[in-house]
Structure formats: structure tokens, C-alpha cells
Structure 1
Amino acid sequence: MKPKFFTRRDFLKAAGVTMAAGVVIGLPGCAPALEATEAAIKVPTKVPTEAPAAVTHGKKLEAFQAMTTTASGDPRRFEISRMTCDAWKALGIPAEQWPVASTVMVEQAWDDKKYQVYFIHHDPNPDRMEPDTWLYKYYYSGNAGPTGSNISGYSNPEYDALAVAQREETDVTKRKELVDQCQAWLYDAQPYHITTNLHLAGVYNKTTFGDPTIFVGNPVYNFWSIKTFKPLTDQKVLRIGLARDFDSINPMAASNPEDIQFLSLIYDMVGRVDPEGKPVPWIAKSIDAISASEYEVTVREGLTWHDGVPLTAEDVAFTFNYAKANSAVYFASGLAILDKAEVVAPDKVKFTLTSPFVPFISNVLCAVFILPKHIWENISNPLEIPNEQPIGSGPWKFDYMRTMEESKLVRNPDHFEPALAEGVLHVVYGSVDGMLGALEAGDIDTVGEILTIAQVDQLQGLPHIQIEKVTEFGMEAFYCNTRLEPFNDKVFRNALALSQPTPDIIKVVLRGAGDPGGSIIAPSLKFWHNNNLPAFPYDPEKAKQSLLDAGYTWDEEGNMYYPTPENDKRVIDTGLV
């Protein structure tokens, strides 16, 4: 028997989802959210034994690598992946934890797409408040290529149709219905699995700096808090501790959120997402939607680059055309919709899109760093240069960088919204423990990492420490590389998800500071979250049985095998594009 190819109609029928005017409403019968208590925790059973006397095995399923951080790089993620791999092995799934440096993770997952399973933490960045980031950027098949952000490689034409429809729908109510359908599809398909939405903490030394603006879902370490930290002593330079150094300070080549956060201090954008999550003009005086596929930006007067050269509408138009033509890594999927940017008046730029794209303002105009044309127009290989002396127009100017030691920015006094601190010093400590120890000792003022409540336990009660708490709209998760067997099988992916010991992880690793994960869009994003999707259940018995039902087998030594052709009931729902 050939593996079944799963369609949207199959999914809706199997899930019991009702439809009205093409809208999916809920998933009746799904398990309720699990409490992180001992009563909710099931101990995975031993490796399945053979039921029939004579079982024919298919191809042997070799052990796969589950890529994660090192214990010193991110103790939380390391421990989550260790517990998960142990649970998988206890169930007879041959997984091996593979701790690597952050640079290797970026190379394997984001650049080469050669990983098998990848444990990740998605930070609550501003662009991730817009559902298109989760639904299109990360899961549309057209973004699964070498420079794309669909690192799972999930490719299903019927899901693609939903993902495109939600980004083109201008009616908010209708768009919400499409967004809910996308969430339900991904919840069922599990190309990723959301382990938990963390209860996060931001910490700072309240005796040296005060009154930071708190960004929704992301405490303390964000553009707005760094900009508004008020010096309270003669120490005017904000010292930020890092667990690891930046990978790239090239705005065209940077690929991870930590680098993007740093660059957002140096470079301006047309707009920014404000502390409440609303897109607002930034270097633009105004942003006007002519239609769902045409936008006009009026640029502020009197702007200058850090080297004194005036910033004009020419720089803005050049940036978007140049970034698209050269596939700027972090922004490629958003720019794919752009047809052209053209100067239509000395202070105006018109953006024409290839098709309607409702999130264009928040996901593109509030994201892409504006580049100085007089510097970058002479660079033919923008993805390859180190950009050792970045010239931007933002609230801070680049001073110096000493790799694996520290990086210094100084305030730009000529900026239209100048920062309060005279400078920002990022100091690399090499581990979370070292960074928190430095904060406790008073050697730094805050940290450049989003922490869990459990991680800041050692700082509780210290008179000089202020702790800010939120529930994130990012998440701890793992990706399956659906380009590869066995991860192209929805049954296998769901078995991995069902057998991850989430209650144990929340209780032991997070000390209760997290909620079991469910939809790709977190509950804290209240409007866009699909409330019909519960937390994903922890059920290793169901995981085991589903694998047996799909035709997977084990021998007496515990080796796992793919189904034989005559007993193959896998659900291959990807690789169909």
C-alpha cells in the first residue's frame, strides 16, 4: 500500500471541522489543556513489542539528530531537548541530542537546511505580532528554498492557498477566519511543535537606570526600552550583558533576531512597531495606502546619515529595490511581494506590489533597514561583506566591536528621537549564568536575553534589581525538516509532538513558568489566536499506537523500521508542490 497523500478536505473531514462560506470553525473533540501536575504526567512505556508472531520489517529507521544549543549557550533549551530525546528513545524512536554552537545552528537550519530536528526559541520580535510572519513567512512553500525562512520545508499547495488568501484579504473579519484556518491546519500537520509559551522576565539595575518603556510580550531588551532607559547616576552608558556575541552586523546578511535587534539601534526604518504593537511612521512623515497593492511614503525633512550625508527619498527607494534584487536574508520573504519602489516627488516614494499584501506596512516598511545609497550602490556582493563600520541614521552610531568581547554604540544627538543614554555597551559573557552573575555584581545594567522566571530566581530580593514579567508571544519549539524521511510523514511528526514530556518540562525545567503550547499564534496575541485550538496533549501511548497503525515496526533489539510497501499507512502531506 502506498502512503496516503493528505489533502485539506481529508483534514477537515477527519477533524470534524464545520465549514460555512469556506470558513473553518474550531476543532471539536480535541483534548483539553494539560495542567503541569504529577497527575497529568505519563511515564512513557518501554519500546513496543511485536504483536504478530511473524512481522516483516521495512527499511531500518536510523537514529536522527536533534540539534540544540550547548548547555552553556542556553541551559533551558539544552535541558528541554535532552528530556525530549530521552522520552522519544524510551518510546523506541531513535533520537540523539546534538548540542552545537549557535553559529552551527544558524548554518544548519537557516542557511543549508540540512538539519533533521531543530530545537529553537522564537523571540517575541515586533514582526511576529503580525500573523503573516508565522503563517506565510515560515510555512509557505515558496520560502523553503536556500535563502528562505521556511526552515521546515513544509510544502503543501492547499495550505499555500490559505496562507496567500489571508495576506491578501483586506476585510479584517474575513482575514481572521482565514488566519484561524491556517492555525488549525498547522496544528494538525505539526511541521513544528510548540512546547511552551514562556512566562518571561526582563531584569535591570534600577539604581543605575530607570523607567524603560516595556514592549508588549518582550520585557526590557527591545528597541523602545533601550532608547528610553534613563541614567540615574554618573554612569551614562547603558551596559548590556550577552550570553553570546553577534553573528553579523551586515543588515543585508544578518539572519537571526539577535543581530536584527542590534542593527535596529543603528539603522532606521520607514516605520516602527510601537510599544503597544501598532505600526507607526518613523523616518516617514506619513504612510498612505493608495490600495492593497500600492503605498505612498512621505519622508521627513532634515534627516542625515551618521557620516553627515543627507538621507532622502532616493535612499529609501534604493534600499527596497537593492534589498530585493540581492535577496536580503532576513527580509527576503517580505520583499518578494514588491514590484518596485520609485521616487515620485523629492520627499515621496511609491511602492507597487505584485499583488495585494495587507501586512506590507507592519512586516516590510516597519522592518527593512534603510541603507545609505552613496555607500551601498557601489557594493556588488552585499551578502558577503562584513560591514565592519556600519553607517546608519538611527538613534545610535557605531563606535567599535571587539569580537567575543564587547561592542559600543554612542548616542546620535541629531536624531529626531534621540536616546537618553549616552551610549550602549554590549558585553559578551559566554553564558547565561555569567551574564546574570555580572548583573548581580553590578558590572552591567541589564541583559540582552529574554529570560524565564526560573532563570532570574537568583536575583529575586536583591535590592538593586527590578524584574518585569510578561507571557511571551514567542515560544520554545522544535522543527522537523519535512524535506527528509521520516519527517515528511504527518503521523511521525505528530508522534514526536504527542510524546514530548511537556508537563515534566514545565514543572522541572521552567519551574512552572510556562504554558503548554498549542497554536502557532500564541494566546497572548488575543485577537489573532485561534481559541478553538487547545494546548497540544501529552499522550505517549497514543503516539506509540499511531506509529504502529501507520505500519512502523520494531525488532526484538528495539530497532525501529519504516512500514513495508504493503502495510504503509503513513500520511505524506508535504513535498507536494
Structure 2
Amino acid sequence: MSADGTTGRREFLSKAGSTAGVVGLTSLAGCGENDSEGNGSDGSDGSDGSDGSENLGDPLPTYTYLNNAQSYNPPRHDAINLIANQFGELGFDMDVEVLEWGTLFNRVDVEYDYDFSTWHTFFTIDPVLELSTTMYSENTSEGDGNFAGYENPDADELMDQYLVEPDSDARIDLVHELQQTLMDDLPQMPVVDMPDIAAFNNNQVDNWEQELELGYNSYWTMINLEMQGDETTLKGYWPETLSTMNVLGHNDENKHTYQFAVMYDTLLRLNGDGEFDTEVSLATDYERVDETTFEYTIRTDHSFHDGEDLTAEDVAFTYNYINDNEVPLFSVQAGFLEGAEVVDDSTVRVNLSEPLGPFNRLVATQLPILPEHQWADRDEPSQVNVQEPVGSGPLQFDYWEKGSEFGLTSFDEHFASVDFEDRYWRIIPEASTVWSNLLDGTLNYEPFGRIDRQLDENRDADNISVETQPATSFWHCTPNERTDGLDDPAVRKAAYNAIPRTSIVDQILFGVPEPGFNVVSPAFGPLHAEDVTTYEDSVETGRQRLQDAGYTYDDEGLVHFPAE
């Protein structure tokens, strides 16, 4: 994709060099510390700017790298500029387009109108749940989730086998093979393994316990927090406003997931050890009757926020409603559902259309239980304009002042209640304002999890504590394989060589995270594979890789396709 008014490579390098976070880094960017290159390249620089110029193919197109505004996420903004700069050194003609986050997300995730993009992968309870959306061949149509445009029947088969396999050890083998396949093809390039971070004012709140999927913004975290002194309000922020109050109509961005996870119950919840915990779940017992049948015993003394009883009928309705209406947010889960039925006042049976090995993890912890009396007459549920959501979770809707603040209040009748009376998020784009508010107590926690200079400078303050744990999410650089050149694994691998992961960690992220090397985070424990193809941080290695694949350079140092 070439954008009108693109910036040429030489001009771009000049501009990028004056951008915050890029100055002083370009000299380090080619000095990678990861020398475990999986392709056997000798790392030599085979390009002198004219090699093969007498037999050039067509030039690679100008590539547009979409970037978030600096105010939204300063370190990621700077990292993207640095990566684009290194792509220019590799020989790509680069343009960087800065967009407001919502516009950027829509361009990539819905319209597929981009060449390179970078953000956090979504937090997920299971890596294949995420990958079966973003890397599955059938999902390449607009808005279906595979924004990379990656198609590989072998990867599809591994994901399919994983989902139906009931044996956990066999699933480990399958997901390890999937990781190797994806790291060989590189449809998505892991840049940095971002940790879960809890930064908070310890005079007001303490006891932050992480949960695998949503880190320090999880249900488990919220029900275990301990307020300090006289404080009764949990006070956070987000750099941009929420988009919807529809639990079935959001786009799975963290800013929405963090709210709905505590506003709605699911059948099962995980504790901090990643185990199903019926003490804090709607279901007090569960049984796998056979490969395609599950039964759940639910609490009979629980209610929705509007006072109506939550019954087995509501649970069965929810599963059938999401399945019958093909809700996009839960398309993976719905693909395995046949239907749900009420057995008795406290028992619900869920029937599957085909086996799903990790059903409880992928479905029972994910589908929000809906009040039938609120949703039964709503058509096209993902499009409903919900003004005041009604769930049954430990926090309930209080107010939404669009563009400025969102408030929840505790639901004291919940079986796993919270230790605070209210929670609000204020919309604060500037990191400096966030930290001044954290220090003076106007805010008491930082849910966005930024790793930036403000964190580095303030983390040792007496009233500030910072907790970090490995997370399931990472910064990715994802090329759009619909674009000429980016459909070639050799080009993608060369681009990955050019990404200065070590410099990004050390110089932009203050040494807090680790450089990324796999599409499944180490936070997933045994599901993560260490032994995958790895790539050196080296522009020179990337250039040699391109030349080995038949690409050539012109006198301006720009890459051309192999000559026909």
C-alpha cells in the first residue's frame, strides 16, 4: 500500500532522527545481542548500495507504518519511529502515519488498510484462543480478525487439533509445534515481552495480586485489593474514552475488557495460580459428562444488579443467545456450541457440536452471563446501544461521562465482594499528569501499565509501589501480507532482523521488559516453547538475507524485487 504524499526514505530518516526517543538510538540499533540466528546467515553486509543494479527488478512499494500519537503511548510511539528508521536502513522506502488510537485500530483490525502496525497483543487466557482469530486462514476477510492476511493450512490444522484435544500434554506438543511454524513464517514479529505492571499509591491501596489473563486489572485482582487508611475509592485513568457499554459489542480492547470482567459474572473464574476457583465463581461445581457435554451447578442465591434473580434459565439463555446470534466477539467459542439447557433450578447443561479440549478455560471463563429479561428482545446484539449495562459482577455501573470519566460502584451482595465502595477512571492523556495525580493521591493506581520515563523517575517515591510479573501480552510488529513484498517470508525475516529489540528495551523502556522472541509468552508456562527459530538484531544480516533471496539494491540503497 502506498499512501499519497509519502515521505521518501532519505527524507524520512532525517525526520525520524529528530524524533524523541530516536536520537542517540540509531547508532545502537544494529548492535543486537541475540546471536542465535536460526537461518544460518553469516551476518555479513552484502549490500554496497549498487549490488546487482544492472539487473534490477521493480522496487518494493513504499510501506506505511501506522503509529499512535505520542501522547497516547510515548514509548511505543518512539519505538515505532525507531523501527521505521531501521527499516529505512534495511532499504525499505518508509512512511510513518500518526493516527488517533481508535482510528489506527480500525484501520488495522477492521479495514486491513496498513503495511506495518505495532501494539500490545490482546491479553488472553490461552494463546491459541488469540491465534485462532488473528492467524487463522479463514479469518482474512475484512473485520474477521486476521489483519496480517496470513494463510497457512498447516498452522490451521495445528490450531484445530489443539482445540479439540482433551489431553493437556498433547495440547502442549501441538502448541509448541505451532509456535515453531509461526516463528519460521513470521506473520507476526514479537518485539518486546511486556510485563504486567501495577503502579499504585501505597497509602491508599495495597495487596495487588495478578491473574494470568488480565494481569493486575483482573477480577481476581479487584476482589483481593485492600484499601488503606480511610480510602474507599479506587481511582484510575485511561488515556482515551471508552467506546461502548455493550458487553457483546466491544472490540476486545483492554479498556473495555477490564470493565466488563468485573461487571459481569462468568460460570468459572481463575485464581492467581491459574486454577479454576469455585469459591469466587458463579458455578459452585462443574463436571465434564462426556467429550461434548458439560454440567454446571450455579448459585441459587445470586441476583443481577437490578435486583432480579440470576437463574439457570439466564445461564442457558446466554449461551444460546450468543450462539444463535453469532456474536463476533465470541465467534471462536460459538463455533463449538450446540446449545444449553436447564436441568433443574441449580444445574445447566452445555452441549458442544464437537469436542473442545480446554472448554472451561476458553468458554466457561469468557462468556458473560446476561439477564434474559434485558436481552431477550434485542436483535443484532453486537449493535445494541446499551446506556446502563446490567450484570451481576462485584462492580456495577454508576455513570459514564463520555470523554471525561467512567464510574462503577460496589455490588455488596456479590459472593466475592470488593473492599472499596467506588471505582472511577478519568480520561487523562498526559503521562506527567497521571503521575502527579498518583503522587498526590488524586489517583491511586495506574491501570494502563505504561513503561516510560515517568515510571522510571517516580517508582522509588515513598508512597509509590510498583509490582511486575510476566504477562501474556507482547508488543508485536505485524506486516500486512496483502502488500507486495510482505507476502514473502524472506522480506518479513529481513524486517525482523532490522527491528532493534534490545535497544528498544534498554533505551526506550528503561530495561524493564525482555526482548521478544516468540508469539507465545513465557507467562503461559508449559504452553510456551523456548526452542523456536530466533533472529539476530542486525540490519546487516537482514540485508544479506534479502540478497540471498534474490533481492537487489539500487544506487539509492532501496530494495528491488528479484529480476524476472
Residues 103 and 247, structure 1, Cα contact 8 Å, conserved in 2: no
Residues 221 and 449, structure 1, Cα contact 8 Å, conserved in 2: no
Structure 1 residue aligned with 2:97: 98
Q: Does 2:451 align with 1:452? A: yes
Greater displacement, 43-52 / 300-309: 43-52
Residues 120 and 476, structure 1, Cα contact 8 Å, conserved in 2: yes
Q: Does 2:179 align with 1:180? A: no
Query: Which one-letter code corresponds to 1:49 in the other structure?
Result: G
The whole-number CA distance in structure 2 between the counterparts of 1:89 and 1:337 is 45
Q: Describe the SS at the equivalent of 2:432.
A: helix
Q: Describe the SS at the equivalent of 1:251.
A: coil
Residues 214 and 258, structure 2, Cα contact 8 Å, conserved in 1: no
**Partner of residue 207 from structure 2, selected from 201, 205, 211:** 211
Residues 149 and 333, structure 1, Cα contact 8 Å, conserved in 2: no
Query: Which one-letter code corresponds to 1:51 in the other structure?
Result: D
Q: Does 2:264 align with 1:267? A: yes
1:562 CA drift (Å): 2.8
Residues 1:321 and 1:427: Cα distance change in structure 2 (over 3 Å): same
| Pairs within 5 Å for 1:462-541 | 462-533=461-532, 535-541=534-540
Deviations 1:8-32 (A, max 9, x none): xxxxxxxxxxxxxxxxxxxxxxxx9
1:198 CA drift (Å): 2.8
Query: Which one-letter code corresponds to 2:197 in the other structure?
Result: A
Q: Describe the SS at the equivalent of 1:132.
A: helix
Under a length normalisation based on structure 1, what TM-score does the superposition of the two structures give?
Answer: 0.85
The whole-number CA distance in structure 1 between the counterparts of 2:321 and 2:387 is 20
The whole-number CA distance in structure 2 between the counterparts of 1:217 and 1:327 is 24
Q: Does 2:162 align with 1:163? A: no
| Pairs within 5 Å for 1:150-549 | 150-216=146-212, 220-255=216-251, 256-281=253-278, 282-452=281-451, 455-533=454-532, 535-549=534-548
The whole-number CA distance in structure 1 between the counterparts of 2:264 and 2:349 is 21
The whole-number CA distance in structure 1 between the counterparts of 2:395 and 2:287 is 28
The whole-number CA distance in structure 2 between the counterparts of 1:503 and 1:326 is 46
Structure 2 residue aligned with 1:79: 78
Greater displacement, 338-347 / 84-93: 338-347
Residues 33 and 516, structure 1, Cα contact 8 Å, conserved in 2: no
Q: Describe the SS at the equivalent of 2:525.
A: coil
Structure 1 residue aligned with 2:87: 88
1:285 CA drift (Å): 2.0
Structure 1 residue aligned with 2:13: none
Deviations 1:288-323 (A, max 9, x none): 112232211222102211111111122112212222
Q: Describe the SS at the equivalent of 1:527.
A: helix
Query: Which one-letter code corresponds to 1:547 in the other structure?
Result: L
Query: Which one-letter code corresponds to 1:266 in the other structure?
Result: M
The whole-number CA distance in structure 2 between the counterparts of 1:316 and 1:421 is 28
1:92 CA drift (Å): 0.9
Residues 1:333 and 1:535: Cα distance change in structure 2 (over 3 Å): same
1:183 CA drift (Å): 0.5
Structure 2 residue aligned with 1:110: 109
The whole-number CA distance in structure 1 between the counterparts of 2:53 and 2:117 is 37
The whole-number CA distance in structure 1 between the counterparts of 2:437 and 2:226 is 20
Q: Describe the SS at the equivalent of 2:524.
A: coil
The whole-number CA distance in structure 2 between the counterparts of 1:224 and 1:387 is 26
Residues 238 and 255, structure 2, Cα contact 8 Å, conserved in 1: no
1:74 CA drift (Å): 0.4
Query: Which one-letter code corresponds to 2:412 in the other structure?
Result: P
Task: Give structure 1 stretches of 5+ with no counterpart.
Answer: 1-31, 36-41, 567-577
Deviations 1:510-531 (A, max 9, x none): 1222222112112232211112
Deviations 1:238-293 (A, max 9, x none): 11122222222211111112201111121111111222222334111222112232
Q: Describe the SS at the equivalent of 2:261.
A: helix
Residues 1:43 and 1:169: Cα distance change in structure 2 (over 3 Å): closer
1:199 CA drift (Å): 4.3
Under a length normalisation based on structure 2, what TM-score does the superposition of the two structures give?
Answer: 0.87
Residues 194 and 518, structure 1, Cα contact 8 Å, conserved in 2: yes
Deviations 1:393-438 (A, max 9, x none): 1111101001121111111111111111011111111233322221
Deviations 1:511-570 (A, max 9, x none): 222222112112232211112126532132221122223333333234433334x3xxxx
Q: Describe the SS at the equivalent of 1:273.
A: coil
1:53 CA drift (Å): 6.0
Q: Describe the SS at the equivalent of 2:526.
A: coil
Query: Which one-letter code corresponds to 1:275 in the other structure?
Result: G
The whole-number CA distance in structure 1 between the counterparts of 2:44 and 2:410 is 55
Residues 1:330 and 1:53: Cα distance change in structure 2 (over 3 Å): closer
Q: Describe the SS at the equivalent of 2:396.
A: strand
Q: Describe the SS at the equivalent of 1:526.
A: helix
Structure 1 residue aligned with 2:9: none
- Calculate the aligned-residue CA RMSD, in Å: 2.5
The whole-number CA distance in structure 2 between the counterparts of 1:272 and 1:383 is 24
Structure 1 residue aligned with 2:55: 55
The whole-number CA distance in structure 2 between the counterparts of 1:191 and 1:391 is 40
1:211 CA drift (Å): 2.3
Residues 202 and 465, structure 2, Cα contact 8 Å, conserved in 1: yes
Residues 237 and 424, structure 1, Cα contact 8 Å, conserved in 2: yes
Residues 1:313 and 1:544: Cα distance change in structure 2 (over 3 Å): same
1:373 CA drift (Å): 1.1
Residues 242 and 430, structure 1, Cα contact 8 Å, conserved in 2: yes
1:187 CA drift (Å): 0.7
Query: Which one-letter code corresponds to 2:314 in the other structure?
Result: D
Residues 1:55 and 1:371: Cα distance change in structure 2 (over 3 Å): same
Residues 47 and 91, structure 1, Cα contact 8 Å, conserved in 2: no
